[in-house]
């Protein structure tokens, strides 16, 4: 079998084993990658559903690997979460976004809020609130220009102390967004306790929204619930004009998706801010 070369060997390896190998490679390389500045933030515009003007952006991390090229976050974020390295990377991401805000201010671009994805373990383990407060004070970036997105399912499992971190952040003036909403099991009593300003409907609902009446009713229900709780609604995964129009007719506030733009390197994204 060896004479058949590298590619052949893989055929006989169970899928899982290959994945473990990849994970280990990424794990071994990620620390140096941070030092070597191989991580880059891409920005995806979020639009006003009625005017279709840009209102904010989501920062999404990419690993620009010198050999493998662009590695998507789903390949390495889970490893970073498991190992706790996400805490360090999270600090890097916040720094980058704050620097970006300063640059936009300096060059007189339109300044818009940027959403940062945070993993629950950053909030549970680190001194998340203290760190954010310190960084905002150091850089003089308006807290209103920062939104933290946290996945619904994970947020709802949080302990009292973690919930308290979110309340402190909220009082500081940063915005909190419940990401991937509709994929977890949020109870109505819990969502009232969680200081969210924004609810992001998971993009899985958009896949068949034009034909699935059930998904249409669920999405309308979520929008109504969010508005009753004085939250804004973002729908992500918008890929065509019919869905734009349907979501606007539902009274959804903001839209995000490939129809408007893929996530872009900051240099290209800035065209949206002119
Ligand atoms: P997410 O927070 O739900 O991010 C939205 C994902 O949907 C992004 O994938 C984005 O590129 C993709 N997307 C946006 N519009 C469309 C669309 O119209 N159609 C389709 N099919 N997809 C669309 P991405 O960038 O690969 O990120 C995947 C996940 O990785 C994110 O899901 C988030 O959970 C995590 N992630 C990304 N960046 C960070 C980060 O800086 N920190 C942490 N902790 N997690 C991150
Ligand atoms: Ca997100
Ligand atoms: Ca999401
Ligand atoms: Ca997601």
Q: Say yes or no: CB of residue 45 within 6 Å of ligand 1.
A: no
Report CA(6)–ligand 3 centroid distance (Å): 37
- Whether ipTM > 0.90 holds is yes
Neighbours of ion ligand 4 (CB under 5 A): 180
Report CA(103)–ligand 3 centroid distance (Å): 26
Q: Which pLDDT tens digits describe the chain residue by residue (274 residues)?
A: 344 444 443 444 555 444 444 788 899 999 999 999 999 999 999 999 999 999 999 999 999 999 888 999 999 999 999 999 999 999 999 999 999 999 999 998 889 999 999 999 999 987 999 999 999 999 999 999 999 999 988 887 888 889 999 999 999 999 999 999 998 877 777 888 899 999 999 999 999 999 999 999 999 999 999 999 999 999 999 999 999 999 999 999 999 999 999 999 999 999 888 8
Report CA(258)–ligand 3 centroid distance (Å): 13
Residues 6+ apart with CB under 8 A from 149: 58, 115, 116, 117, 118, 177, 178, 179, 200
Report CA(58)–ligand 2 centroid distance (Å): 7
Q: Say yes or no: CB of residue 73 within 6 Å of ligand 1.
A: yes
Length of the chain: 274
Its sign, for the CA torsion 76, 101, 162, 128, is positive
Let me know: does 180 contact 148? Beta carbons within 8 Å: no
Name the helix (H) or strand (E) containing 29.
helix 15-35
Model pTM score: 0.92
């Amino acid at each position: 079998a060896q004479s058949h070369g590298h590619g052949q060997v893989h055929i006989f390896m169970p899928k899982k084993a290959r994945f473990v190998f990849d994970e280990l490679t990424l794990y071994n390389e990620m620390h140096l990658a941070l030092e070597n500045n191989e991580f880059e933030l891409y920005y995806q515009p979020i639009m006003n559903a009625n005017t279709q003007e840009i209102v904010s952006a989501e920062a999404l991390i990419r690993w620009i690997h010198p050999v493998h090229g662009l590695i998507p976050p789903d390949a390495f974020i889970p490893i970073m979460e498991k190992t706790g390295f996400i805490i360090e990377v999270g600090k890097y991401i916040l720094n980058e976004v704050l620097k970006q805000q300063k640059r936009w201010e300096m060059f007189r671009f339109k300044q818009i809020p940027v959403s940062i994805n945070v993993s629950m373990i950053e909030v549970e383990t680190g001194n998340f609130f203290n760190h954010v407060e310190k960084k905002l004070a150091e850089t003089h970036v308006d807290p209103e220009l920062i939104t933290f997105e946290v996945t619904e399912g994970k947020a709802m499992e949080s302990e009292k102390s973690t919930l308290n971190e979110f309340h402190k952040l909220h009082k500081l003036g940063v915005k909190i967004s419940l990401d991937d909403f509709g994929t977890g099991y949020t109870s109505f009593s819990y969502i009232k306790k969680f200081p969210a300003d924004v609810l992001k409907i998971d993009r899985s609902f958009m896949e068949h929204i034009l034909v699935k009446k059930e998904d249409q009713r669920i999405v309308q229900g979520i929008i109504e619930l969010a508005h009753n709780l004085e939250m804004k609604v973002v729908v992500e995964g918008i890929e065509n004009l019919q869905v734009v129009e349907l979501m606007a007719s539902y009274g959804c506030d903001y839209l995000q998706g490939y129809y408007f733009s893929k996530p872009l390197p900051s240099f290209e994204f800035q065209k949206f801010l002119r």
